[in-house]
Amino acid sequence: MTGKHAGKAWLSVCLASLLAACSQSDGFSDLDKFMADTRAKPRGHVEPLPEFQAYEAFSYSAADRRAPFEPPIEVQLTMVEEQPVSEVEPDLDRPKEVLENFQISSLSMVGTLEGTDGVMYALVEDGTGVVHRVKTGNYMGKNYGRIAGINETHIELIEIVPNGRGGWVERPRSLSLDEG
């Protein structure tokens, strides 16, 4: 016999003994006994869930009335006087500046510069990361905000906003230095 045939013979003998070992049914007797004992035990009983009473929603109908523990408030009705129409209105004919395309809340002051002529400039970052140089008299924000003054910590603005009655009113606003 050659080495090749001897290896095949040895492999055949190993496989035959392995198959013979797996075919014996004696190895499962303890498992079969355990399963039979488990099936013979009485089964448990699960009690049904308790029944709950349904929630009844309460509708509070006295919400529009006076609270019972507070004293009544005397209300005197008066005629609302119409305030004179203001002469303030935005200049819609002037060309818009770049920072008027942004809300004031999206702009942040990041610094100041002083020119050689003594004019104070503020550095304002728009929401896109671009920094702009502005001075007193420039406009910024969607509400026609004119820069009234600049110092090292904030920019003072005067915005022109609708008053709700068809007119316009000036509103002061400031933009503080962002130290973050």
Q: What confidence tens digit (pLDDT) does each residue in 72-131 have?
A: 777 776 655 555 566 788 888 989 999 999 998 889 999 999 888 888 999 999 888 899
Q: 111 burial class (0-12, 13-18, 19+ CB within 10 angstroms)?
A: middle
Q: What is the helix (H) or strand (E) element at residue 161, kind and residue range?
A: strand 154-162
Q: What's the domain count of the chain? A: 1
Q: Is residue 56 part of a domain?
A: no
CATH code of the domain in which 139 resides: 2.30.30.830
Tell me how far apart the alpha carbons of residues 115 and 138 are, in angstroms, rounded to a whole number.
16
Is residue 10 situated within a structural domain?
A: no
Q: What is the C-alpha to C-alpha distance for residues 119 and 13, in angstroms, rounded to an integer?
A: 104
Q: Is 79 a domain residue?
A: no
pTM above 0.75, yes or no: no
pLDDT in tens, 43-67: 888 888 888 888 888 887 777 777 7
Helices (H) then strands (E): counts for the chain: 2, 7
Query: Cβ distance 167 to 86 under 8 Å?
Result: yes
